[in-house]
Structure 1
């Protein structure tokens, strides 16, 4: 090996390296200069199949555990425990989800954007952002980050529709991912969505004119501080609504709200804010040719009471100070109303109401009214017929009412009542145990069939002859006749003599 400086010899000498022990030894004095030296060389060994395998293990910066070095064939590394690493599995599943979402008809993104989203997903996995979150939401958030960066006409609600998930949950995941990755995304320009929504509203040949006027309205709102702090969907809806009226298309607020996916209240609010600017007082020709140099204050600077005034929801009024005549539908409706008001019956009813108000409660003039006569002059047969018809038409309702009444009655009857305890009957005084037992059996019913109550009835009966017979028998056995049961028996004393062989009893 190359000569090295030895501290023991104080000179530069040749050294020898022991690969087995990892020692570096000085050849001059034998001093061990290094021990257990780590060698960066790659060693190879053969497995049971004869294939060359690199010795040792490696662990990358973004890896969770030690992984074997790849073989010469270039196969993927596997963990020491066998199988693929969980983090790699998560990355592969996330890339697959990104591909699936990008192919959805609501999204339709190309391959380059998918690759960018996959790189954002890898960063999310490294920062442990996927733990505890749905993989679909994280993948959709990565795709939407690419859309915001490339300024495409994609909205967050499009990804929510593709995944059939809640747009607010998806938005929360997107905001948290942007915060963790420290991204500075550009603000969304509402002009990006004008062409997309205009194509769905079907303006036919004048689509380009409507888009041009809508973009001009967006620029005007931006100059008047209406766009700042608002979601782009509401700005697009208001501009398309006004631009459609400017070009002679009568699109209702509901139609535009359904296309842009906002509520009508948001659209009314944006229209109200625009109506308070000087640009709203211009005619269509003036707005298309004149650009006001001054800009207005933000709507937040207005008087709160003025901002809370109700929005005029009259869709038939022409916007921006236009004096266009009413359309054909309005003309036909006015003509029909005038014809109804000019009929004879309407005039008579109007005069009749006036006379009733002038008579101050005098209804004598209503006696000749044909409608009142038809109501009051009803015979019994007609009344029965009307009742039958009404009953037949409303039999389902009548049946439901009857069932409801029965249920309420059953609930009232079935309600639990407090059980009143009956007072205990006091047994009469007994002169003997037999009498007390009989009184107790008479007071309580016979609950069991396994008891012979006849024996209990005869339990305390006294048989005098039987007692005398027992006493006589005990007397014969030599016991005292003082007790029939045998308790307290006393032996009888006898006289006897001892003759030497034993006892001799005498009677």
Structure 2
């Protein structure tokens, strides 16, 4: 297998064609001119990863003999080595009294806390199905909080969960407190407290949650068609503009709008089904819906195809 090597071509060039990129033959260890075929370098050391394994090929375990990637979150990335030097050194020595090499396997308590947090954030990101960029943002937020020591004494689980919640909102893929709580080890109330403390101490901010932030995801999970999703989005925005649900959270209004739009369509969903997906209690959905139903004729968009007329919609 051969591929163009740009790094090596900066040191070894073809005397006849100096501007021509070289090709590296990994099997032979040769550097070859891609134009005339002249071997301009031989016995080149392959600095790539060793991917050969000696175990069952069906095994999913990665036995490549390479180290883990560097992580900028940790000082030194645990790749440095300490060497005992000098006659008075207290470092480890072999049986002949010579200094021994010792890997920096012992990490500080600060790095140990970061390692634990990074692992927990990774697990939460997998369960929430969010991108790697968001996971990195949550890691950096936790490091800032940890190094600032402003939340010293607070539960690490609550800080991790709050950092994930903030990262989701800043990355424009917001999750509700209940969704974060479902994949964490702490309560919704504690996550909310730590969330406010982080915003205050880091002097960062997040966009205000709107009903449209959750609508498409909730409707997709309920398998509702596009027409119903658009109607629910319109209903939620109109209800807030008309101030029909004062004091209700955007998530509650979103759930009530989905329930109303589905009841008027052929894809009816019960309040329990909507509650299971949105995380909003059935009683809350019904209360918001009850406040919206008297003005239902003004809430639906023009051109919506009613399967159940407005006057036949349930009253609660």
TM range (shorter): 0.5 to 0.7
In 2 relative to 1, CA 191–134 (structure 1 residues): closer, same or farther, beyond 3 Å? same
Match of 1:254 among 260, 272, 284: 272
Quick one: distance in 2 between partners of 1:126 and 1:84? 16
Within 5 Å, which residues of 2 pair with 1:124-143?
124-129=145-150, 131-143=152-164
SS of structure 2 residue aligned to 1:163: coil
Q: Does 1:245 align with 2:263?
A: yes
Deviations 1:146-172 (A, max 9, x none): 111122142221221112432222222
**Does the CA-based 8 Å contact 1:153-1:196 persist in structure 2?**
no
4+ runs deviating over 6 angstroms: none
Q: Does 1:89 align with 2:112?
A: yes
Q: Does 1:146 align with 2:167?
A: yes
**Matched residue, 2:26:** none
**Does the CA-based 8 Å contact 2:211-2:237 persist in structure 1?**
no
Quick one: distance in 1 between partners of 2:276 and 2:107? 47
Match of 1:281 among 297, 303, 307: 297
In 2 relative to 1, CA 245–89 (structure 1 residues): closer, same or farther, beyond 3 Å? same
Instruction: Give 1:138 shift.
Output: 1.0
Quick one: distance in 1 between partners of 2:268 and 2:231? 15
Structure with the bigger RCO (C-alpha within 8 Å, sep 6+) is 2
Instruction: Give 1:199 shift.
Output: 2.3
Within 5 Å, which residues of 2 pair with 1:345-494?
none
CA RMSD of aligned residues (A): 3.2
Q: Does 1:159 align with 2:180?
A: yes
In 2 relative to 1, CA 221–118 (structure 1 residues): closer, same or farther, beyond 3 Å? same
Instruction: Give 1:226 shift.
Output: 4.3
In 2 relative to 1, CA 97–282 (structure 1 residues): closer, same or farther, beyond 3 Å? closer
**Does the CA-based 8 Å contact 2:251-2:280 persist in structure 1?**
yes
SS of structure 2 residue aligned to 1:321: helix
Within 5 Å, which residues of 2 pair with 1:168-247?
168-203=189-224, 207-226=225-244, 229-247=247-265
**Does the CA-based 8 Å contact 2:222-2:274 persist in structure 1?**
yes
SS of structure 2 residue aligned to 1:103: helix
Within 5 Å, which residues of 2 pair with 1:102-141?
102-104=125-127, 107-129=128-150, 131-141=152-162
Match of 1:321 among 306, 311, 314: 311
Deviations 1:31-58 (A, max 9, x none): xxxxxxxxxxxxxx99239x9xxxxxxx
**Does the CA-based 8 Å contact 2:275-2:282 persist in structure 1?**
yes
Quick one: distance in 2 between partners of 1:268 and 1:234? 10
TM-score (ref. length: structure 2)? 0.60
In 2 relative to 1, CA 319–181 (structure 1 residues): closer, same or farther, beyond 3 Å? farther
How many positions carry a matched residue from both structures? 216
Instruction: Give 1:128 shift.
Output: 1.2
**Does the CA-based 8 Å contact 2:272-2:282 persist in structure 1?**
yes
Quick one: distance in 2 between partners of 1:169 and 1:319? 44
Bigger Rg over Cα: 1
Deviations 1:236-262 (A, max 9, x none): 111111111222233222222222222
